[in-house]
Amino acid sequence: MKSTQRGMTLIGFIFILIIAGFFAYMAMKLVPAYAEYMGVVKTVKETAAEPGEYNKPLAQIRDDMSFKASFQYVDNSTMKDAKLRVVTGEGPPKLEMSYDKVIPFLYNISFLLQFKTSAAMNTQGAG
C-alpha cells in the first residue's frame, strides 16, 4: 500500500510566516496613525459643536482644538502642522481640517497618509 503525505512543507510554512509578518509589521506602523485620526475627528466635531466658536479667530480655534486633542492622544505636531479653515458658503459654515502624516516603513520606503475631516459649526450664540 502506497501512502501519500499531505500538508505543508517547511519552506511553504516559512514563506507564509514571512508574508504574515510583513503585513503584521505594516499594521503595527499604520494603526496608530488611524487611531490618532479618530481622535482628530472627535476633536473637530466637539469644537464645531460648541456655540460661539464660529466668531473666534482661527488661532483661538486651533488653541481650543489643541487642548481638546491632548485628551484624545493626538500628537502636538499633528495639530500644529494641520491646515485648519472655516468654510462658508451654501448651508451652515463648516470647520475643516486636513493634514499629512509620513510614516517611515523600511529603509527609504515611507507611507504618506492624507487625512481630511470636517464638521458643521454651531452658529447659535454667534450673535
What backbone torsions phi and psi does residue 22 show, to the nearest 5 degrees? -60, -50
Write the pLDDT tens digit of every residue in 70-87: 888 888 888 888 899 988
Write the pLDDT tens digit of every residue in 12-40: 999 999 999 999 999 999 999 999 999 99
What is the C-alpha to C-alpha distance for residues 85 and 118, in angstroms, rounded to an integer?
9
Q: pTM (2 decimals)?
A: 0.81
Counting every residue, how long is the chain?
127
Write the pLDDT tens digit of every residue in 101-111: 999 999 999 99
Cβ 51 vs Cβ 125: under 8 Å: yes
pLDDT for residue 126 is more than 60 = no
